[in-house]
Structure 1
Amino acid sequence: MFAKLAQPYPLGATLCDQGCNFSIHCPDNQEIKLILFDAENKRTTIELGNEYMGCRYVFVPGVKAGQRYGYQIRDKHELRLVLDPYAQALDKTPFYVEPFTADKSWEFAKSVVVDHQFDWQQATLPQVPYEETVLFETHVKGFTKQHPQLDEQHQGSYLGLCQPQVIEFFKDQGITTLQLLPVTSCMSEPHLLKMDKVNFWGYNSLCFMAPEPRYAANDAVTELKTMVRELHKNGIEVIMDIVFNHTAEGGEGGPKFHFKCLDKNYYLQDSNKNYLNYTGCGNTVDLTYQPSLNIVLDTLRNWVTHYQIDGFRFDLAATLGRKRDRFDTQSAFFKAIAQDPILRQVKLIAEPWDVGPDGYQLGHFPRGWNECNDRFRDTVKSYWLEGNNNVKEFATRLMGSRDMFSAGGWPDKLPVNFISYHDGFTLHDLVSYNHKHNHANGENNRDGHGDNRSNNHGVEGETSNYSVIYKRERQKRNLMTTLLFSFGIPHLLAVDSLSHTQGGNNNAYCQDNEISWADWDLSKDDKRFNTWLTQMLAARKQIMSPFIKAFSGHERGHHRIHWHRSNGQMMTAEDWQGLNAFALYLGLYKTGNELMFLVNSSDIPTRYRLPSGSKWSVVCDTSESRLNQRQVQTTYMQSAKSMTILYRE
């Protein structure tokens, strides 16, 4: 009877009312056996009596949700327990003491059978338009661990991120979309375990489909779904940062959790069967190999179907389009996504590079993909913080980097613009440090990027010098105004809204402490900046979003764009070589709403002559710490190293 219920697909553990089907892809290990564990860790060994195309499978009657299991394999004459790569949950936070031997594998985290029934309470998907999307990069634990209004049981957890106080903050801030640092199960790298540290960011995937247990009080599956449901009820999207380019098994000599013992072809290998390391993490998942492609696509559908996830940000996404040492926009992965009725409906964001050959692919991903625009980051930071007066480059980024992202493909091909990300300086540290200070990471300050393009404005680190503080706060406003009023999807680091400092650490990946935890104890300057940013996000939605929509697609050529010198005359070819003060004029159609950008990167105030007509409303002047609503008409005096946005209906 039960033999008929046994099926090779879907892979993983699939429940029905009579029991559970277990199936695993394991062509490199024919002696594999299913092990079930009871509450006292007593084992039941079950033969996988069926085989199909490299998959071994069996139906086990009577199995219920919550059943812990693993697979026993023979590894060099030792019996090792491996995780199910398709595991939907883990029974505890993965941990081991180096080295990870076959004996220790039996004490490691176990796979868990999951029943995905859940009451979504009729919560609907927010489906925020691209032109209105504001990404808020958030660490589940780090953002709420020190939140003063949350109960201790909710701090640093999935449920903490959806408490009314936190949701109210998101809504007041004007955030449409949370981009969560990885919430899939991960394992800290061996070198971190030796230093008694953890991979705080989570970019070291263990089981792609299992939510990270350390952010849950009891049940990571239910608590993550609850978080998504409550955010959706409040119109906030949830995007997962997900890592398919490598796994926690590392390279040669790395730990064996699953893939290495089941099928080594999951990873790219050279002619000597050594792992190719195009990710900088020891191994590279080979998506030209059908089982690798299958688990990636199955994983994505799992998160969208069972967790109502609104989209994904793909870490080192160039790896996903690789054919060994070349990147291919026509790869099977991109084609599979484009034809998938579930996946082609969600937001897809690529980090468009990896560290291998042909690895930098900004602007080359297919339609339907948005891309993290590091050219915007570097140009804008250099312009405001380093005095690199490359007006042409700055203007190109302001107008949506159309040298790489044609407006004909907008809004779905809008670039994702950003100033700060989880890796690198926070916004506050960008204006407070000239050098990285990563000593807490235990690598003698050798780790982390050296190209920060930052400016401490005369003092390294925190200071009480009012003149220095004023310059720093003004530059923060310059950077954020440029980000929010450029054409693109703005990406903000969540802790930047709180002016959080990491003490100059630009690579805090292993800092599960106050260095990374958002500091909610705000100074007067911090509160003032948060209020300013909240109002600017509201202004962007009201004013800039309609301009982005209008400048997208077939209508893009029907609007007015003019570049002016401060005296009102049109800019000449010579002006583009380094003019310190210029203006951008935008007008919708022939007589529609108008925007003016007054940009003064010089050290002296500059008076601008404005286009004639009715009065302009001042949206913001970055030389001012508050938004002061007023109108101007013929001229405007712009302070040094600042910019102003004007609007006229």
Structure 2
Amino acid sequence: MNQLGATATDDGVRFAVWSSSARRLWVSIFDDSGAREVERLELKPEGEGVHALSVSGLVPGTRYGFRADGDYAPERGLWFDPNKLLIDPYAVEIDRPYQYHWRLAVKRNEGADTASLMPKTVARALPRPLPAKPPLFKPGGLIYELNVRSFTKLHPDVPEAQRGTIAALAHPAVIEHLKRLGVSAVELMPLTASIDERHLPPLGLSNAWGYNPVTFMALDPRLAPGGFKELRDTVAALREAGIGTILDLVFNHTGESDRLGPTLSLRGLDAQAYYSHLPDGRLANDTGTGNTVACDHPVVRQMVLDTLRHFVRHAGVDGFRFDLAPVLGRVDGVFDPDAPLLETVAGDPVLADRVLIAEPWDIGPNGYQLGNFRPPYLEWNDRYRDDVRRFWRGDAGAIGALATRLAGSSDVFGRTGQPASRSVNFIAAHDGMTLADLVAYERKHNTANGEQNRDGHNDNLSWNNGVEGETDDAEVAKARFGDQRALLATLFASRGTIMLTAGDEFGRTQNGNNNAYAQDNAITWLDWAGRDQALERYASSLSAMRRAFPALSDTHFLTGMPSDASAIPDVEWLTETGAPLGEGDWNDPGRHRLVMMLGDSGGGRLAVMVNGDRRQCVFTLPAREGFEWQPAIEAMAVDLARPLPGRSVNFMIERRAAKARSRKGS
């Protein structure tokens, strides 16, 4: 297929767009302000659905949009209306953010031209591709999920004009925080331009997360006022600091929504091809947003591949997280782990070494596909999230599930005989309660979203130590602090890749709102001035310990057998007395304590002592001649001779005793 989008030539710009069913297509050229249409030129068919035209005299920076005409029959997936200005699906830049207006959704012949309501696509020459470099991030590292705007909006060290933008991530104070926390890669929530859902403007709300794109390549001007170069430079600055960049991309739906939604781009060009439809002609809704992108269509597949290559070649990103990823693997509406798009991405020469992360569920038929993606795709593991929450909530019989999650979830990811886990372990993410709110709110508090608290999940597996939300009581505050420490310690003690959402390391709260997608305000903006610095230091210490003991980040499944000549098993599961956990212990619904003893390739051991009981407990660890147990985190030293606190996780590392070291060195 010929190159699509706007391409600068020696004497002008070539415009090309694809549609299999439009009868006529035009490019509208606008003045430098984007306010006045100065020319409308008809594109010429070039075969295979491509319509194109080279226009001499135009230069990079030209503002334009497409228009299409054909049948108007929404019940058959045909929405052609030349009064609707359409964004180029291959747009790499738009001149202003999208803003929802009801006129964008009116029927053909019932509304005026929409050009004044739409951003204009900017014909922009991209910088030369970057030299190919391998990703910094490797499975087993620490992913740090963040929303660019909320992460830096209140950061006191970032210049005010830069706050809330991609460039703010390159600020030395931000990079220092990431390095202190030991972040392997930042996972940036959507940066591409999105539009508000139609019910938000009347409520005085706006989409703060960005999971409602119109096209897939153009960055949101609010996040990237410096254009694509801003992303490229920020990725380079992070890489220089040893931190990779993963982009969270949305290919499963667009902001054109259901049949009542606006016509902005794909719908007006060829909705039959770009979107999935049910046999009766209605839009499929496997996403809960009103439409589903037809990722099994060859043209859509090519567009997704071109988008991913664009961000690798021109921005140098390490990889991608795919929102509602089963949509990318649906063929004729049915998920197939060997779907052409999933296979092509994993085998593409530009993409094959990139980090690929699937959110393995959508709301369509058989939409829950955890564990069913093929390597090299990593997967968000909600089984990990839920089982860890159940354990620390105090649910009976949760000890076995906790051990399975700590060890990499072989029950999920080892079913096909794979030797290593593909789990991305997390306790809290952008969607749901924050880590601090998990221990302070038993129920969601979403009234600020304007939906009478009906939105968001009802089963959060959360708890509170006192009156919901109140922290005046010193004992309540202490208990919540301890529970947050226990949750963080569990995450950093878990084998494989782990993910922490920005601010959870210092106690961010959304006041119990578990669906804060529409809160572009203090509910989601990180409170840097009021952060819990003691909790932050603890998280940094956990991360340093994890990096110092590679067995924690290893992705291979544990076997209980020695992994080298040291004869030390890779794992032993013990009771608090140091005895092996027996069948009766695993099946004891009242058991809330265990020790995970990990062997290291150097012959040492790390003891992860979990006390999920509210009572203190003395832990006994098995001794070896010539070795002694020492605190793995010096700043959080524990004494095995004294009871360990209830609801806590503690770490001891086995080192050669001082006398043994002296004899060895003499």
Q: Same fold (TM over 0.5)?
A: yes
CA distance in 2, matches of 1:552, 1:530: 30
Q: 1:551 and 1:543 mapped to 2: Cα distance?
A: 16
Partner in structure 2 of residue 280 of structure 1: 288
Instruction: Give the equivalent residue in structure 1 for 2:43.
Output: 48
Alignment of 1:552-591 (within 5 A): 559-578=569-588, 579-588=591-600
Residues of 1 paired with 2:562 and 2:265: CA distance?
Answer: 50
Shift of 1:460: 0.5
Contact 2:370–2:379 (Cα < 8 Å) also in 1: yes
Paired residues, number: 628
Equivalent pair of 2:608/2:652 in contact (CA under 8 Å): yes
Which of 187, 191, 204 is residue 196 of structure 1 equivalent to? 204
Shift of 1:78: 5.2
1:605 paired residue among 613, 616, 623: 616
Given that 1:410 and 1:553 are in contact with CA atoms closer than 8 Å, whether structure 2 keeps it comes out as no
- Whether the 8 Å contact between 1:580 and 1:602 is mirrored in structure 2 is yes
For each residue in 1:413-456, what CA deviation from the matched residue of structure 2 results, as whole angstroms up to 9, or x when unmatched?
43100010001111111111111111110000100111111111
Q: 1:554 to 1:444 in 2, by over 3 A?
A: same
Unaligned stretches of 5+ residues in structure 2: 73-80, 656-666
SS at match of 1:215: coil
* 1:4 matched residue in structure 2: none
Structure 1, residues 226-248: CA drift from partner, whole Å, max 9, x if none? Answer: 21121112111111111111111
1:271 Cα deviation from its structure 2 partner: 1.5
**Structure 1 residue 550: Cα displacement:** 7.0
2:331 is the alignment partner of 1:323: yes
Shift of 1:119: 9.7
Residue 229 of structure 2 corresponds to: 222
Q: 1:495 aligns with which of 495, 503, 522?
A: 503
Task: Map 1:308-457; keep pairs closer than 5 Å.
Answer: 308-406=316-414, 409=418, 413-457=421-465
Alignment partner, residue 628 of structure 2: 615
Q: Is the 8 A contact 2:23 2:69 kept in 1?
A: no
| Secondary structure at 1:348 match in 2 | strand
Shift of 1:395: 0.7
3-state SS in 1 of match to 2:533 = helix
Change in 2 beyond 3 A, CA 1:474/1:39: same
Q: Distance in 1 between matches of 2:100 and 2:553?
A: 53
1:194-218 residue CA offsets vs partner (Å, 9 max, x unmatched): 323211100011110101111133x
- Tell me whether 1:178 sits opposite 2:186 in the alignment: yes
Q: What is the aligned counterpart of 2:139 among 130, 136, 147? A: 130
Residue equivalent to 1:248: 255
Secondary structure of the 2:24 match is: coil
- Distance in structure 2 (CA, Å) of the matches to 1:268 and 1:522: 47
Distance 2:254 2:297 in 1: 16
After superposition, the Cα gap between the structure-2 partners of 1:10 and 1:500, relative to the gap in structure 1 and judged at 3 Å, is same
Task: Give the secondary-structure state (helix, strand or coil) at the position aligned to 1:273.
Answer: coil
Q: What RMSD in Å do the two structures reach over aligned CA positions?
A: 2.3
Question: For 2:363, what is the secondary structure of its paired residue?
Answer: coil
Please tell me the residue identity of whatever aligns with 2:616.
P
Gap change, CA 1:145 and 1:70, over 3 Å in 2: same
Task: Indicate conservation of the 8 Å contact 2:94/2:121, yes or no.
Answer: yes
Q: Among residues 167, 170, 185, which one is paired with 1:162 in the alignment?
A: 170
Q: Is contact 1:547-1:588 (8 Å) kept?
A: no
Provide the C-alpha distance between the structure 2 equivalents of 1:323 and 1:557, rounded to a whole number of angstroms: 42
The equivalent residue for 2:546 is: 540
Structure 2 letter corresponding to 1:501: T
1:112-142 per-position Cα deviation (integer Å, ceiling 9, x unaligned): 111112697x8966523222x2111111110
Does 1:13 find its partner at 2:25? no
- Which segments of 5 or more consecutive residues in structure 1 lack a partner in the other structure? 1-7, 621-625
The 8 Å contact of residues 427 and 499 in structure 1, kept in 2 or not, is answered as yes
Asked whether the 8 Å contact 1:583–1:596 carries over to 2, the reply is yes
Which has the higher mean CA deviation after the structures are superposed, 157-166 or 475-484? 157-166
Deviation at 1:51, TM superposition (A): 2.1
**In the TM superposition, what is the alpha-carbon distance from 1:629 to its structure 2 partner?**
3.8
Residue type at the aligned position of 2:309: R
Q: Deviations over 1:364-402 (max 9, x none)?
A: 101100000000000001100243441111110010001
Are the structure 2 counterparts of residues 549 and 443 from structure 1 closer, same or farther at C-alpha, using a change threshold of 3 Å?
Answer: closer
Matched, 1:89 2:96: no
Partner of 1:33: 26
What is the CA deviation profile of residues 153-185 of structure 1, one whole-angstrom value per residue up to 9, with x for unaligned ones?
111111112111111111122112110010011
Residues 343 and 125 of structure 1, relative CA distance in 2, 3 Å threshold:
closer
Deviation at 1:557, TM superposition (A): 5.5
The Cα shift of 1:409 comes to 4.2
What amino acid maps onto 1:245 in structure 2? N
Using the TM superposition, give the Cα deviation of residue 305 of structure 1 relative to its aligned residue in structure 2, in angstroms.
Answer: 1.1
Counterpart secondary structure, 2:437: helix
Q: Could you tell me which amino acid in structure 2 is paired with residue 529 of structure 1?
A: L
Deviations 1:82-107 (A, max 9, x none): 11111111110111322314535201
1:69 aligned counterpart, secondary structure: strand
**1:127 counterpart letter in structure 2:** L
SS at match of 1:483: helix
Q: Is the 8 A contact 1:550 1:588 kept in 2?
A: no
Maintained 8 Å contact 1:123/1:229? no
* Structure 1 equivalent of residue 240 of structure 2: 233
CA-CA distance at 1:319 after TM superposition = 1.0
Q: Does 1:593 align with 2:597?
A: no
Secondary structure of the residue aligned to 2:93 is: coil
Aligned ranges for residues 61-140 of structure 1 at < 5 Å?
61-74=56-69, 79-100=83-104, 101=106, 103=112, 105-107=114-116, 108-117=118-127, 127-131=136-140, 133-140=141-148
Offset, 1:62:
3.0
8 Å CA contact 1:86, 1:209 repeated in 2: yes
* Structure 2 counterpart of 1:487, one-letter code: R
CA contact (8 A) 1:409 1:553 kept: no
CA–CA separation in structure 2 for the residues paired with 1:432 and 1:146: 24
Partner of 1:461: 469
The one-letter code of the counterpart of 1:564 is: L
Q: CA deviation at 1:24?
A: 0.4
Q: 1:459, 1:389 → 2: CA distance?
A: 27
C-alpha deviation, 1:18, in angstroms:
3.0
SS at match of 2:17: strand
